[in-house]
Structure 1
Amino acid sequence: MQVIVLGAGVVGTTSAWFLAAAGHQVTVIDRQPGAGLETSFANGGQISVCHAEPWANPHTPLKALAWMGREDSPLLFHLRADRQLIDWSLRFLRECTPGRTRRNMVDIVHLALYSRRTLQALRAELGPDFQYDHLERGILHIFTDPREFDAAIKASAAMRDLGLDRQPVSVDQCIAIEPALADVRHRLVGGDWTPSDESGDAHKFTQALAARAAARGVQFRYGTTIEQIPTAGGQVAGVVVRGPDGAPELLTADAYVLSLGSYSPLMARPLGLHLPIYPAKGYSATLPIKAGSEAHAPTVSLTDDERKLVFSRLGNRLRVAGTAEFGGYGLELNPVRCEALLSRTKEFFPHLELDGPPQYWTGLRPATPSNVPIIGRSTLPNLWLNTGHGTLGWTMSCGSAAALADLVSGKTPEPVFPFLGRPRP
């Protein structure tokens, strides 16, 4: 079939790759001048399968209330007359019950495990020249609060029951796993270690995969704005786009894949599709490491439980990322939240020297209330959805794309997951 993929982020680009591998003729449309230039550009860098618990859990509402009003808090809601945010928040609260949290966690883990295997197989297929600063050194979740660490030990047991290799570790073990933490030994109370998890630069991955896909015949139309998705006879009739020359054009195909991240609900709403996705604004700082200071920067990817930040080593750079800000589609950088990333880095790694100023960035993560992405056939029979991955787009991208390619091709995907248009497993 001829398939048009809307969006060239990590989810759209992997979708294009696996659809082409399944024998389809694929065209990718994106408004940016290249692949992976929006939410996939500077995320936390973690392939975080074993720490993929949903935000929506019984503990989150009270934590959110405690953080209310703090401009540097891990979770920040801007109070505003935003019906979309109000509806999303009410749905989020409904997902915080123990039963729904457990169900959502199972769904996320099944897809995330499959996705990591798919990424590893893809990496083996593409060979050693396919590089994106990836490291297979695990993820260490570090704790500074004894109560949070005790809760994490219980969560680890639940995740191990799902087949994940989460291991509670002592402070001494934390330092042995990541020696760069030695300066904050006195602050730590323990850790949660997942040796099978990975890290890597999602932007570099997306650009490298787009180049390989283009070499195999996938057509990428960059600098092209999607203006409308007209319908006829109960299905999509094409996509109206406007390219660099400014002229409108109608593109048609046999099937269409919507992978526009936080912008997916805006494009879907005129079609009568109401996707429960809201933009969760995240921040990152990319820090260039000064030559000679490499030993003072971590090589194991870290998650700071207290501030909900991640630290990932990407070659000679350290990526610090996290927080979630709910307040619409604005991309303005909040200097207080930017400074919080740098100050926490200095607390944890006081001897780290930088080779230049931090590069701050913000992006809109497409969050569903349950944290479970939306994948499968929509109510329009030739429109497919692969969107709503929240903070786990990098983690779930390859598995989501491979499963979608199976669905479009009329096959049964491998992971047990509530794909749209199919009975819940």
Structure 2
Amino acid sequence: MRVVVLGAGLLGVTSAYYLQQLGHEVTVVDRHATPAAKARGMATTASPHALRAAGAAPRRGKKLSRLCDGIRRGLSRLMDRAVGTPPKRDPLDHLVRLAAYSRKSARALREEAGVSHGSRSTGLLNLYTDADAFRVRIAGATHWSSLGCEERLLSADEALVVEPALKAMRSRLAGATYALEDPARDPAQFAASLVFLCRAAGVRFMTRHTVVALKERDGRIDHVELLDAAGQPTTLRGQAYVLALGASSVPHAEDLGIDMPLRFVREYIVTMPLLNPALAPRIPLRDRQGKLRITRIESPSGDQLRVQAIVQAGLDEEAEPDSDRFRAIVRRTEMLLPGVADAARASFDTAMQASSTNRLPMIGKTRLPNLFLNTAPGTRTWVHACGAGKSIARIVSGLRPELDFAFRRP
């Protein structure tokens, strides 16, 4: 079957690989010059043709659009229950199973095809400064393990052995969990190897092509309208289509009457030069109580500490201003890692993101029998790329997924 994958991010590339393995003829379309460009650090600013294409697809009028957006925000939870398959359990259960299945699939892929997992995998250390919260985590250990979670429970002293940089906060540390294989690590080398395997197997990549619109006819997708590298319109036809454009999937789906309920979040990013590299953490940290992710990064001017926090946009707008939130992030970081970073030279940034209202990636079928979704607006796709790609390939092929997950259904 001729399958067109729209989007060559990690989800699109893994979808293409597993579709090809199941015997399909696969074409992948992407606006960037290189497949998996973002994962490989090669993403560039959209060309004028791509920007023009973004406004080329038919859209609602501005007033009507605002009205529809308001209704969608107010009814987002209701729509999540009405569209697709609602999770039977906590969405976190689904995410943990998907991440575990992805790790298993990635390991099998590395062994069978010789794909490298990259050299930056150092693990992820989840820190608990609240003793009650850590006791709850201990009580749920059996449940998480049954879902495939591979985190190790660590006492405060054991956490110091894994990451000596925590010594200064020993009195505040209740415990930690440690995932040896951090699914959110830099996937550049893995992505490059997977693209190579796709090309070697015959997957066709149409780079520098921007998706303008998906056209429906007789209850099916008939063709896709594109703009090529020169800004010239062209069309592409297949027998099945996988929509893997991240947040850009949403307007195309909604133009086809496919609801993709979203919530908007704001990411706060604080970057600080290191005062004492010897005291800085080697392993990415997640502060469970402060809701921070702390990572040591390399830069031309020397190593830095990057601290990220994500807040639901609506709540943020009604609460403290950005300046207060940034100060709170800096204070919390200095409490956890005193004397490590130079707060006086901190730089600040924010970014708006969109994610599904139930926090789950959108994987599965739509009301159109030849259009499938594999998209995860606003999430770290590496966590579930292989599991999502393998699952959608089986769904497109008419096979039952191997994973128990809240897949979308028409």
Task: Give the alignment of 1:253-268 within 5 angstroms.
Answer: 253-268=238-253
Task: Output aligned runs, 1:104-253, within 5 Å.
Answer: 104-127=91-114, 130=116, 132-135=118-121, 137-195=122-180, 197-203=182-188, 205-253=190-238
Query: How far has the Cα of 1:159 moved from its partner?
Result: 1.7
Say if 2:39 and 2:191, in contact at 8 Å, map to a contact too.
Answer: no
Normalised TM-score (structure 1): 0.73
Distance 1:274 1:395, change over 3 A: same
Tell me by how many angstroms 1:241 deviates: 1.0
Corresponding residue of 2:319: none
Q: How many angstroms apart in 2 are the aligned matches of 1:341 and 1:91?
A: 34
Instruction: Within 5 Å, give how 1:24-423 maps onto structure 2.
Output: 24-36=24-36, 82-88=70-76, 102-127=89-114, 130=116, 132-135=118-121, 137-195=122-180, 197-203=182-188, 205-284=190-269, 293=277, 295-312=278-295, 320-326=307-313, 344-352=332-340, 366-388=354-376, 391-421=379-409
Once residues 242 and 118 of structure 2 are traced to their aligned partners in structure 1, the CA distance between those partners, rounded to angstroms, is 26
Deviation at 1:115, TM superposition (A): 0.9
Q: Which amino acid aligns with 1:403?
A: S
Change (3 A) 1:260 1:326: farther
Note if contact 1:262-1:277 (Cα within 8 Å) is conserved in structure 2: no
Say if 1:373 and 1:390, in contact at 8 Å, map to a contact too.
Answer: no
SS at match of 2:211: strand
User: Which structure has the larger Rg?
Assistant: 2
Deviations 1:234-261 (Å, cap 9, x if unpaired)? 1001111112211111111111101122
Matched residue, 2:318 = none
Q: Secondary structure at the match of 2:238?
A: coil
SS in 2 for 1:102: coil
Counterpart code for 2:154: V
Cα distance change on mapping 1:337 and 1:206 into 2, 3 Å? farther
For 1:18 and 1:179, how far apart are their aligned partners in 2? 41
Q: Which one-letter code corresponds to 2:109 in the other structure?
A: L
Question: For the Cα contact (< 8 Å) 2:226–2:235, is it kept in 1?
Answer: yes
1:23 maps to: 23
Conserved in 2, the CA contact under 8 Å of 1:371 and 1:389?
Answer: no
**One-letter amino acid matched to 1:34:** T
CA RMSD of aligned residues (A): 3.8
Indicate whether 1:9 and 2:14 are aligned. no
- Whole-Å Cα distance in 1 between the matches of residues 206 and 323 of structure 2? 35
SS at match of 1:26: strand
Contact kept, 8 Å, 2:39 with 2:188, in 1: the verdict is no
Q: 1:336 to 1:41 in 2, by over 3 A?
A: farther
When the two structures are aligned, how many residues end up with a matched partner? 369
The 1:362/1:7 distance shift into structure 2, 3 A limit, reads farther
CA positional deviation for 1:83:
3.1
Structure 1 position 303, deviation (Å): 1.2
Query: Which residue matches 1:59?
Result: none
Q: How many Å apart are 1:139 and its aligned residue?
A: 2.8
The answer to whether the Cα contact below 8 Å between 2:80 and 2:261 also exists between their aligned partners in 1 is no
Query: Which whole-Å deviations, capped at 9, do the CAs of 1:88-138 have from their partners, x for residues lacking one?
Result: 2666899xxxx968343433333221111011222334437x353441x54
Mapped contact 1:366–1:388 kept (Cα < 8 A): no
C-alpha distance in 1 between matches for 2:127 and 2:22? 41
- The answer to whether the 8 Å contact 2:29/2:207 transfers is yes
Between the aligned partners of 2:272 and 2:195, the Cα distance in structure 1 is 26
Alpha-carbon distance in structure 2 between the residues aligned to 1:360 and 1:38: 22
- Shift of the 256–85 alpha-carbon distance from structure 1 to 2, 3 Å rule, reads same
Displacement, 1:230? 0.6
Q: 1:123 to 1:289 in 2, by over 3 A?
A: farther
The superposition leaves residues 358-395 of structure 1 with CA deviations (integer Å, 9 ceiling, x where unpaired) of 89776665522322322122111111111236535221
- Where 1:191 maps in the other structure, the secondary structure is strand
Gapped regions of structure 1 (runs ≥ 5): 43-79, 328-333
The amino acid of 1:383's aligned partner reads L
- For the 8 Å contact 2:243–2:371, the answer to whether it is kept is yes
Inter-CA distance 244–374: structure 2 relative to 1 (3 Å threshold): same
CA distance in 1, matches of 2:102, 2:155: 30
CA contact (8 A) 2:15 2:393 kept: yes
Question: Aligned partners of 1:314 and 1:35: how far apart in 2?
Answer: 24
Normalising by structure 2, what TM-score? 0.75
**% identical aligned pairs:** 32
8 A Cα contact 1:134 1:199, kept in partner? no
Distance 2:349 2:15 in 1: 25
Code of the residue aligned with 1:18 in structure 2: it is Y
Q: Could you tell me how far apart the structure 2 residues matched to 1:232 and 1:92 are? A: 27
The CA distance in 1 between the partners of 2:77 and 2:155, in whole Å, is: 37
SS in 2 for 1:384: strand
How far, CA to CA, are the matches of 1:3 and 1:33 in structure 2? 21
Give how far 1:399 is off: 0.5
Return the letter of the residue paired with 1:24.
H
Q: AA paired with 1:132?
A: G
